[in-house]
Amino acid sequence: MGLFSQKGGETLFRNEDALDLEFVPKLLPYRELQQKRAAACIRPLLEGRPGRNALVHGPPGVGKTAAIKWVLRELEDTTDDVEMVYINCWQKNTTFKIFEEICQQLGYKFTQNKRTEELFEVIKNIVNKKAGVFVFDEVDKVEDHDFLYSILEELYKKAVFLVTNYKEWLEDIDERIRSRMTPEIIEFRSYSKEEVSGILKHRAELALIPGALTDDALNAMTSYAFEAKDIRVGMFLFREAALASEYANSKRILFEHANVAITKAKEFVIRKPDDLGDDTKQILDVVKKNSGSKIGDLFRLYKEVGGFGTYKTFQRKIDRLERGGFVTANKIIGGAEGTTTIVDIATKEKPTTLDRF
């Protein structure tokens, strides 16, 4: 019997999708102002004029990605005259990869064997016939900035959104780019305790049958998520607590179920690549550059770039990176060289441990 099996036709869930971290509520509560400001940057494009650019910043887990995606979805429902591109720069971190991805998103599939400039020509041809909105999420993860220069300089009607945890990021960028960017600054502050509570309650209304979330459980989860300053922690707790209560065959999420979830949350401390230790970051970097290699080869490469840990520690850190959703590790049993593990960089956007749940 699975955790989600319906017991006697009774289930806590009304819409299980609403517990999914990828789920974006139709209207993102508490972020109306930011969404309006983002929309204002885009609106001129609908009237055939150039749009405005924006630097969207704020700490992790405060709804930046969700809010911007919501704006894009609204735009998609409103018009066919504006091309929309959303890129996560943790995944696509070079100008070449970014252009390749933009081409794909614009519906141009023949990107193979094309050089960076050729890819940009394709983008230019498509976007300059209409207008374009470009969102570069986690933009601080890019390794070069040429793509920005090209987009800002050679596309006529566009709105470029740079999303980051660090508002200083832009200050260190080439002046030629900064002067062309002249962004609006859209700030996302941390949620207040009331807002955290409101968000969880709202999710409960979407996901669960009425009355399923007790106040005691809500308050316990709210306090913990508020302290963590990341609403993802709240989502994680909520999901875990709901599962714990289903597992216990309870019709409501009680304080004790919230507590089970909180205990679990404490076990997972990795948050973002930036929160990893230097050594682990270095290991992640080696994996990134040599994705798909055997663990033994990765260890050798790690040593070559000055890694100081033992093989055992290395394995343990790979394991931790896997649990954090940064890499995937697959054991190949009985290959030509006996059992080995192949390590890949995780392809799906999974910036936090908590997203795995």
Q: Which of 157, 232, 317, 350 binds ligand ATP (CB under 6 A)?
A: 232
Residue 179 tokens read as: 């002067």
Tell the burial category of 67 from Cβ atoms under 10 Å away from its Cβ (0-12, 13-18, 19+). Answer: buried
Angle at 135 between CA 355 and CA 232, to 5 degrees: 20
Q: Which residues of 71-91 are buried (b: 16+ CB within 10 A; e: fewer)?
A: bbebbeeeeeebbbbbbbbbb
Cβ of residue 59: shortest distance to ligand ATP, in angstroms?
7
Locate tokens 């062309």: which residue?
180
Q: Which of 37, 38, 41, 60 binds ligand ATP (CB under 6 A)?
A: 60
Cβ of residue 7: shortest distance to ligand ATP, in angstroms?
28
Cβ of residue 229: shortest distance to Mg ion, in angstroms?
14
Determine, following the binding rule CB under 5 A, whether residue 65 of this chain makes contact with Mg ion.
yes
Count of chain residues binding Mg ion (CB under 5 A): 1
Three state DSSP letters for 13-55: ECCHHHHCCCCCCCCCCCCHHHHHHHHHHHHHHHCCCCCCCEE
Q: Which of 38, 41, 53, 63 binds ligand ATP (CB under 6 A)?
A: 63
Q: Which segment (53-61, 113-121, 303-311, 337-345) binds ligand ATP by CB under 6 A? A: 53-61
The DSSP 8-state label assigned to residue 275 in this structure reads G
Return the number of the residue (60 or 325) whose C-beta is nearest ligand ATP. Answer: 60
Q: Which of 55, 162, 199, 346 binds ligand ATP (CB under 6 A)?
A: 199
Return the number of the residue (65 or 150) whose C-beta is nearest Mg ion. Answer: 65
Q: Which does 29 bind (CB under 5 to 8 A by kind): Mg ion, ligand ATP, none?
A: ligand ATP
Cβ of residue 315: shortest distance to ligand ATP, in angstroms?
28
> How far, in Å, CA of 321 to CA of 335, rounded?
24
Q: Which of 235, 265, 295, 346 binds ligand ATP (CB under 6 A)?
A: 235
Q: Which does 132 bind (CB under 5 to 8 A by kind): Mg ion, ligand ATP, none?
A: none
> How far, in Å, CA of 266 to CA of 11, rounded?
27
Contact 70, 36 (CB under 8 A): no
Q: Which of 93, 95, 150, 165 binds ligand ATP (CB under 6 A)?
A: 165
Q: Which does 232 bind (CB under 5 to 8 A by kind): Mg ion, ligand ATP, none?
A: ligand ATP
Determine, following the binding rule CB under 6 A, whether residue 29 of this chain makes contact with ligand ATP.
yes
Q: Which segment (33-41, 47-55, 62-70, 168-176) binds ligand ATP by CB under 6 A? A: 62-70
Return the number of the residue (165 or 293) whose C-beta is nearest ligand ATP. Answer: 165
Contact 356, 325 (CB under 8 A): yes
> How far, in Å, CA of 344 to CA of 199, rounded?
35
Cβ of residue 192: shortest distance to ligand ATP, in angstroms?
11
Rg (CA), the chain: 22
Coil, helix or strand for 190?
Answer: coil
Return the number of the residue (61 or 132) whose C-beta is nearest ligand ATP. Answer: 61
Return the number of the residue (45 or 135) whose C-beta is nearest ligand ATP. Answer: 135
Using alpha carbons, list the distances in angstroms from residue 175 to 145, 149, 172, 178: 11, 10, 8, 5
Contact 135, 85 (CB under 8 A): yes
Q: At what angle do helices 295-304 and 311-323 cross, to 10 degrees?
A: 110
Cβ of residue 349: shortest distance to Mg ion, in angstroms?
9
Residue ranges in contact with ligand ATP by CB under 6 A: 21, 24-25, 28-31, 58, 60-66, 165, 199, 231-232, 235, 351
Q: Which residues contact Mg ion by CB under 5 A?
A: 65
